[in-house]
A and B are shown apart, each in its own frame.
Chain A
Amino acid sequence: MTLGLINANPVVHAKKERIVRAEDNHAADAVDSLDVFDSVRDIRDPEHPYSLEQLSVLSEESITVDKKLGRIQITFTPTVQHCSMATVIGLCLRVKLLQSFPLHFKVDINVSPGSHADEESVNKQLNDKERVAAALENPSLRQLVDECLCSSEL
């Protein structure tokens, strides 16, 4: 596994402390950026035994939620400019949000500006739902996504 890694030595950051929130002052339908961050922060990077949070691929600040319109926007930063795993990370984020939030939420996922060599093409793919649907029907891709999500539950 050491050969062929796209980013062999990623910088690993500490996890932020989790904020435990009382249920009664936080209604189930009032999704905010911390809820979204909590659901995706432990997704494992497709290449490393570290979470997306530990690799600073995303943070609470890179997530915006428009409660009124029911929209979630995530901007993530691949660890390297030419990361071919960027689309896999994007797929993981999309699947995790589908599993965690009401289906009527509209989700936009993009790489942060300047963070990827093929920024436009990665963003276009990640937000084309037909391409996403087809990718998730691909057994090997689906398995890779499921593994990244599964380890987040450990």
Chain B
Amino acid sequence: MADKQTKIEIAVGFFMIVGLASISYIAIQLGDLQVLGQKSYIINARFTSSSGLRSGAFIEAAGVRVGTVDSIVFDPEEYQSIVYLAIDEDVPIHEDAVASIRTAGIIGDKFIKITPGGGEYLQPGEEIFETEPSINLEELISKYIFETEK
């Protein structure tokens, strides 16, 4: 009797441990759960087109992830798209840095690439003025053709 009960408890305990391990693996590794609570600051950038970019997309500088896209808003006056960028707190962005929307590989997700500039660092809430919009379809196709010819 007691034996049977203990066996059940051990099995359930084992199940729970395996389950918790899997959940934490998914949450931390796949979901990028910030266990240590990575802080970030917000700057914005205006694009003539942010086609294909979604909130949550990555921001890379020199190929390293330095933040994510916080939100994308349409500006009806200028007919532009304002993208709010959440940049990791310890990463300074120069005031004349260039933000360009790029595509990972041929059919991959859009991300924002930051090319460094010089001068002052941007304060939270300020704007990156130099931007390059999404690469359009023709460019994408030419890139594809170019790569296959090689």
- Asked whether A and B interact, the reply is no
Interface residues of B (CB under 8 A from A): none
